[in-house]
């Protein structure tokens, strides 16, 4: 097979460009959070299959024609094709972030920039420790570059694998195509098995890292062998299918699989897993059944010239859409249809300009003829300069942010959880229960607060309500972990949050051992639970505490903002379009909130127990259903868009103390009637006559973490 035939096939298969358009539009639907678009991230899988098909075709064409691969030439061609547009988008985005965002936002949203410049951001997103408490309103501006890293890392090793595969089948003669096909089948199967194995241990690594995605590129390569390579049985099969309706059927079935996958696959599923077979198979079928006939055939199969136009610009569109969406979201506007549609239109416009003035000149224009030596040297120079410039700008931004932090940045206004709060809350890294004693280490009675980061924001109330001379204040916290006996999918780990479940069960056991006088339970209201989950999951935990004679107080999650509080206070004009019915700056009216619904669920469950009360503080946070970044008395309320500042929590102590007394939970005595169960064997059997808040003599020692 001649390399000219391969090049001609790649150039005139407009249906592939239409398939690119479908893939990028699905990704845009997902990132814009449009209805029925949540599973659109599978568009990336389609891109991987397309790339495997096209690049393998070019490489095999060169091997078949010349008997060798010019690897430096291949790399130079890839660099000319991809790097210029990427540098333009990354640089422009960073400049826009410096102009539009606060120093803290710039730092938190551009951490991957040096990695994106070197096509390694997928590694950064796999292994970096994200600051859960950072909570800025904008995601990493370069999050989408992970897929570009996967692709380029694959093509560092794929040419070598192709050479080895061709050597393995070189004596096959006319049977070389089928033999090569079997090699690729083995690669796909082995790669998919490896992907599943990695997903079981580390879902994030499976999603982001190249080895667990290699099978999808190999699947595209397999299609090329089945459809286009050689003149053996596979080539004959493709030619026979081309004259029947089977070819069109493959295209339609493939499209149906892709679209169904986008509708049915959820971001809350472990991915890539078994479900990733369907979009991959769909892309394979479309590629296999497609026609070389050009624009007319593409119009019949995939929607015509509009899709082909978008497909031509799909690379630039993919590069632009995410930073555009993220920067618009920084103004609190991505939840409104006009701004969502305008963001998509802006991304399209920028993509068209980038394609015309950046992509084409380096791909097919005057700069495409640069030699491989000059290309590689220029690439290293430009990347080094860009890397130094980005690092320098981030350093200056960090200095600026440190100065603002020393001046009392509300983002750092958090409750005291001991000298080493990181050891107290190990997030998803460990299920070990590590109580933090924040006051009254030598007191006779104990009050425990257990919660996620939203529940833990009330920690400073404990020593204020329960004096340290009488009460030991203990905090058990796990970020992102609801104190509800239900599993959740957690995007930070890309899977079910099993560490949360293990920690929660162990933490409840520890509380039963401690036998505190009172337990306060707090969780965010934003978890993806329905009424049954909230009520049944909360009831299950309360039954364990009630059977141990431990009274409990449920603190419903407080309302969240649709904007970042500290940022709005710094730049109120940024959010003026996004906030409606505001009497003052950085305020919004919440008519019906999830926090209200969840509070109602918790009240229903609490009514089933004599030893459980509800302490709802949401109206203190958002009086008259109006949530603001700063209270009417001038205290900053939120340290991000959902967590309260510790200063605000302390400012409402008088009102909270009054409510606690009203429901009989003051420090003078827990007025919840209950029986005290007998102690376990080995404990003092007279313990049943003790105050319910006292410890048995053999109580485990709770100390500050080392």
Which CATH number do you get for residue 652? 3.40.50.1110
Give yes or no for residue 301 having a pLDDT over 60: no
* CA-atom Rg of the chain in angstroms: 30
Under the banding of pLDDT at 50, 70 and 90, the label for residue 699 is: very low
Give yes or no for residue 570 having a pLDDT over 90: no
In a domain, residue 233? The reply is yes
**pLDDT tens for residues 248-284?**
788 899 999 999 999 999 888 889 999 999 999 999 9
Residues 213 and 97 in one domain: yes
Q: What angle do CA 645, 649, 652 make, to 5 degrees?
A: 140
In a domain, residue 220? The reply is yes
Give yes or no for residue 682 having a pLDDT over 70: no
Residues 523 and 467 in one domain: yes
Distances (CA, A) of 146 to 123, 152, 157, 480, 540: 8, 10, 18, 24, 41
Give yes or no for residue 5 having a pLDDT over 50: no
Average of pLDDT values for 388-399?
73
**pLDDT tens for residues 108-128?**
888 899 899 999 999 999 988
The confidence score (pLDDT) of residue 8 equals 45
The confidence score (pLDDT) of residue 232 equals 43
Query: Which range is most confident: 174-183, 243-252, 535-544?
Result: 535-544
In a domain, residue 706? The reply is no
Q: Tell me how far apart the terminal alpha carbons of the chain are, to the nearest angstrom.
A: 68
Average of pLDDT values for 389-404?
69
Residues 207 and 307 in one domain: yes
Q: Based on the structure, what is the number of domains in the chain?
A: 2
In a domain, residue 384? The reply is yes
- By CB atoms closer than 10 A (0-12, 13-18, 19+), residue 365 is exposed
Residues 418 and 395 in one domain: no
Query: Which range is most confident: 14-18, 75-79, 642-646?
Result: 642-646
Output the average pLDDT for the chain. 84
Residues 194 and 335 in one domain: yes
Residues 6+ apart with CB under 8 A from 303: 18, 21
Q: 329 with 109: CB under 8 angstroms?
A: no
Separation CA 519–CA 611 (nearest Å): 11
Q: 660 with 668: CB under 8 angstroms?
A: no
In a domain, residue 642? The reply is yes
Residues 126 and 184 in one domain: yes
Q: Which has the minimum average pLDDT: 215-224, 359-368, 653-662?
A: 359-368
Structure-model confidence comparison of residues 663 and 679, the more confident one: 663
Where are the extended beta strands (E) located within 602-692? 612-614, 626-628
In a domain, residue 644? The reply is yes
Give yes or no for residue 14 having a pLDDT over 90: no
Residues 585 and 658 in one domain: yes
* Bond into 272 cis (ω within 30): yes
> For 492, how many CA atoms within 13 A lie in the half-sphere containing its CB?
17
Q: Which has the minimum average pLDDT: 148-152, 168-172, 334-338?
A: 168-172
Give the range of the structural domain holding residue 523, as residue numbers without chain letter: 411-667
The confidence score (pLDDT) of residue 55 equals 95
Dihedrals φ, ψ of 436, to 5°?
Answer: -110, 120
Separation CA 630–CA 627 (nearest Å): 9
Average of pLDDT values for 4-12?
47
In a domain, residue 692? The reply is no
Residues 190 and 305 in one domain: yes
Residues 301 and 439 in one domain: no
Residues 495 and 614 in one domain: yes
Residues 6+ apart with CB under 8 A from 689: none
Structure-model confidence comparison of residues 646 and 379, the more confident one: 646
Residues 418 and 314 in one domain: no
% of residues, the chain, pLDDT over 70: 83
SS (H, E, C) 461-515: HHHHHCCCCCEEEEEEECCCCCCCCCCCEECCCCEECHHHHHHHHHHHHHHHHHC
The confidence score (pLDDT) of residue 686 equals 32
Which of 675, 667, 220 lies closest to 465 in space, CA to CA? 667
Please tell me whether residue 579 adopts helix, strand or coil conformation.
coil
The confidence score (pLDDT) of residue 67 equals 79
Neighbour count for residue 117 (Cβ, 10 Å): 24
Under the banding of pLDDT at 50, 70 and 90, the label for residue 679 is: very low
Separation CA 234–CA 602 (nearest Å): 63
Residues 467 and 587 in one domain: yes
The confidence score (pLDDT) of residue 192 equals 97
SS3 of the chain: helix, strand, coil, percent, to 5? 60, 5, 30
In a domain, residue 704? The reply is no
Last residue of a domain, one of 381, 401, 421: 401
**pLDDT tens for residues 137-163?**
457 999 999 999 999 999 999 999 998
């Amino acid at each position: 097979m001649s390399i000219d035939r391969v090049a001609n096939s790649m150039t005139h298969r407009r249906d592939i460009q239409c398939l690119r358009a479908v893939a990028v539009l699905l990704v845009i639907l997902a990132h814009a959070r449009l209805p029925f678009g949540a599973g659109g991230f599978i568009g990336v899988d389609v891109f991987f299959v397309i790339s495997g098909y096209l690049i393998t075709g070019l490489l095999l064409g060169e091997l078949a024609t010349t008997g060798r691969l010019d690897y430096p030439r291949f790399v130079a061609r890839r660099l000319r094709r991809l790097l210029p547009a990427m540098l333009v988008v990354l640089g422009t985005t960073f400049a826009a972030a410096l102009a539009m965002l606060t120093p803290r936002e710039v730092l938190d949203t551009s951490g991957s920039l040096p990695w994106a410049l070197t096509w390694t951001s997928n590694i950064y997103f796999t292994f970096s420790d994200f600051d859960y408490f950072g909570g800025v309103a904008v995601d990493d501006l370069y999050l989408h570059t992970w897929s570009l890293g996967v692709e380029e890392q694959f093509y560092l090793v794929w040419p070598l694998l192709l050479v080895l595969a061709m050597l393995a089948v070189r004596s096959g003669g006319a049977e070389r195509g089928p033999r090569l096909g079997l090699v690729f089948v083995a690669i796909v199967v082995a790669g998919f098995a490896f992907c599943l194995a990695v997903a079981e241990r580390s879902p994030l690594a499976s999603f982001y890292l190249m080895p667990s995605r290699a099978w999808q590129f190999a699947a595209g390569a397999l299609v090329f062998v089945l459809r286009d390579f050689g003149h053996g049985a596979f080539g004959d099969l493709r030619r026979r299918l081309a004259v029947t309706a089977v070819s069109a059927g493959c295209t339609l079935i493939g499209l149906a699989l892709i679209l169904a996958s986008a509708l049915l696959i959820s971001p809350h599923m472990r991915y890539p897993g078994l479900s990733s077979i369907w979009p991959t198979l769909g892309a394979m079928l479309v590629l296999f059944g497609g026609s070389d006939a050009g624009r007319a055939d593409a119009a019949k199969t995939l929607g015509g010239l509009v899709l082909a136009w978008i497909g031509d610009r799909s690379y630039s569109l993919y590069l632009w859409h995410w930073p555009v969406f993220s920067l618009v979201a920084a103004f609190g506007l991505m939840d409104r249809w006009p701004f969502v549609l305008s963001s998509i239109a802006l991304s399209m416009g920028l993509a068209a300009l980038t394609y015309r003035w950046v992509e084409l000149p380096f791909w097919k224009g005057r700069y495409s003829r640069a030699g491989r030596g000059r290309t590689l040297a220029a690439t290293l120079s430009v990347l080094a300069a860009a890397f130094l410039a980005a690092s320098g700008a981030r350093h200056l931004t960090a200095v600026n942010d440190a100065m603002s932090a020393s001046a009392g940045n509300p983002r750092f206004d958090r409750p005291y959880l001991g000298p080493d709060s990181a050891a107290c809350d190990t997030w998803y890294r460990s299920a070990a229960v590590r109580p933090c004693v924040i006051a009254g280490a030598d007191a006779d009675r104990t009050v425990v607060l257990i919660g996620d980061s939203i529940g833990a924001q009330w920690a400073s109330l404990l020593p204020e309500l329960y004096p340290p001379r009488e009460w030991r204040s203990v905090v058990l916290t796990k970020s992102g972990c609801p104190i509800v006996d239900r599993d959740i999918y957690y995007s930070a780990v890309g899977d079910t949050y099993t560490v949360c479940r293990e920690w929660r069960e162990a933490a409840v056991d520890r509380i039963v051992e401690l036998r505190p006088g009172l337990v306060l339970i707090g969780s965010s209201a934003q978890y993806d639970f329905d009424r049954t989950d909230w009520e049944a999951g909360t009831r299950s935990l309360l039954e364990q505490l009630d059977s141990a004679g431990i009274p409990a107080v449920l603190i419903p999650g407080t309302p969240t903002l649709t904007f970042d509080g500290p940022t709005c206070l710094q730049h109120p004009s940024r959010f003026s379009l996004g906030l409606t019915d505001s009497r003052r700056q950085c305020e919004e009216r919440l008519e019906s909130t999830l926090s209200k619904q969840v509070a109602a669920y918790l009240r229903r469950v609490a009514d089933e127990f004599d030893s459980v009360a509800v302490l709802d503080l949401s109206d203190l946070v958002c009086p008259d259903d109006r949530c603001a970044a700063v209270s009417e008395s001038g205290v900053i309320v939120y340290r991000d868009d959902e967590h309260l500042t510790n200063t605000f929590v302390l400012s409402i102590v008088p009102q909270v103390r009054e409510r606690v007394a009203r429901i009989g939970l003051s420090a003078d005595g827990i007025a919840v009637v209950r029986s005290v169960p007998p102690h376990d064997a080995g404990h003092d059997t007279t313990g049943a006559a003790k105050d319910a808040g006292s410890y048995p003599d053999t109580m485990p020692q709770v100390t500050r973490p080392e």
